Structure 1
Amino acid sequence: MRYAAIALLAALSLAPMASWAQSDVEVSIPSGDAVLAGTLTLPQSPARAAVVLIQGAGPHGRNQIISGTPMFKELADGLAEQGIASLRIDNAGVGASTGPRVQLFKQREPHILAAFDALAQRNDLQNVPLGLIGHSEGALVASSIWADRKDAVAFMVLLGAPGRQGRAVWVEQQSNPARFPDHSPEDHQRLRAAFDAIAEASIAADRAAVAAGVDRLFDLARATPEEIAENKADFVDRMASPEMQVWLSHDPAPVFGQITDPTLLVWGDADSLTSPLQNLPVYLAKKNPAAEMTFIVLPHEDHFFLRGEGLAPGQHRAGAMSLSPAIVKTVSDWISVQTAD
Structure 2
Amino acid sequence: MISTILLSLAASTLDPIEVTIPGPEGDLAGTLVQPDEDGPAMILIPGSGPTDRNGDNPMGVKGKMYRQLADGLAAQGISTLLIDKRGMFGSADAVPNANAVTFGDYVTDVRGWMGLLEERGAECVWLAGHSEGSTVALLAAQDATGICGLVLISGAGSAILDIMRGQLARQLPPAMLESIDTAFAELKAGRTFDPEILPGPLHAMFGEDLQRFMISGYTLDPVGLLSNVDLPVIIVQGEEDLQVAVSEAEKLHAAAPESTLVLLDRVNHALKPVEPGEMAANVASYGDEGLAIDPRVAEMIAGYINAER
TM value normalised by structure 1: 0.75
Larger radius of gyration: 1
Inter-CA distance 232–158: structure 2 relative to 1 (3 Å threshold): closer
Q: Which residue of 1 aligns with 2:228?
A: 258
- Offset, 1:143: 1.0
Q: Which residue of 1 aligns with 2:23?
A: 31
Q: Which runs of 5+ in 1 are unaligned?
A: 1-20, 219-227
Inter-CA distance 238–71: structure 2 relative to 1 (3 Å threshold): farther
Q: Which of 110, 113, 124 is matched with 1:112 structurally?
A: 110
Q: Which residue of 1 aligns with 2:8?
A: none
String of CA shifts for 1:72-112, please: whole Å, max 9, x gaps.
11111111110001111222222222211253233211111
Q: Which residue of 2 aligns with 1:15?
A: none
Q: Which residue of 2 aligns with 1:170?
A: 164
Q: Which residue of 2 aligns with 1:268?
A: 238
Q: Which residue of 1 aligns with 2:270?
A: 304
Residue 85 of structure 2 aligns to a residue whose secondary structure is coil
Q: Which residue of 2 aligns with 1:62?
A: 53
Give the Cα separation in 2 of the matches to 1:95 and 1:166: 24
- Offset, 1:30: 1.4
String of CA shifts for 1:52-77, please: whole Å, max 9, x gaps.
11101123332121522112111111
For the 8 Å contact 1:164–1:252, the answer to whether it is kept is: yes
Q: Which residue of 2 aligns with 1:130?
A: 125
- Offset, 1:198: 2.2
Q: Which of 285, 304, 308 is matched with 2:254 structurally?
A: 285
Q: Which runs of 5+ in 2 are unaligned?
A: 1-12
Aligned 1:38-77 pairs, distance under 5 A: 38-43=30-35, 45-66=36-57, 67-77=61-71
Sequence identity, in percent? 24
RMSD, aligned CA: 2.7
- Offset, 1:332: 0.9
Inter-CA distance 80–23: structure 2 relative to 1 (3 Å threshold): farther
TM value normalised by structure 2: 0.82
Paired residues in the alignment total: 285
Q: Which of 136, 147, 150 is matched with 1:153 structurally?
A: 147
Inter-CA distance 242–335: structure 2 relative to 1 (3 Å threshold): same
- Offset, 1:296: 1.4
Residue 142 of structure 2 aligns to a residue whose secondary structure is helix
Give the Cα separation in 1 of the matches to 2:230 and 2:141: 10
For the 8 Å contact 1:308–1:320, the answer to whether it is kept is: no
Q: Which of 186, 207, 218 is matched with 2:193 structurally?
A: 207
- Offset, 1:175: 0.5
> What is the letter of the counterpart of residue 199 of structure 1?
F
Q: More deviation in 194-203 or 50-59?
A: 194-203
- Offset, 1:269: 0.6
Give the Cα separation in 2 of the matches to 1:282 and 1:79: 27
Asked whether 1:326 is paired with 2:292, we answer: no
String of CA shifts for 1:254-279, please: whole Å, max 9, x gaps.
221101110000111111211112x1
Give the Cα separation in 2 of the matches to 1:324 and 1:114: 31
Q: Which one has more relative contact order, counting CA pairs under 8 Å at least 6 apart?
A: 2
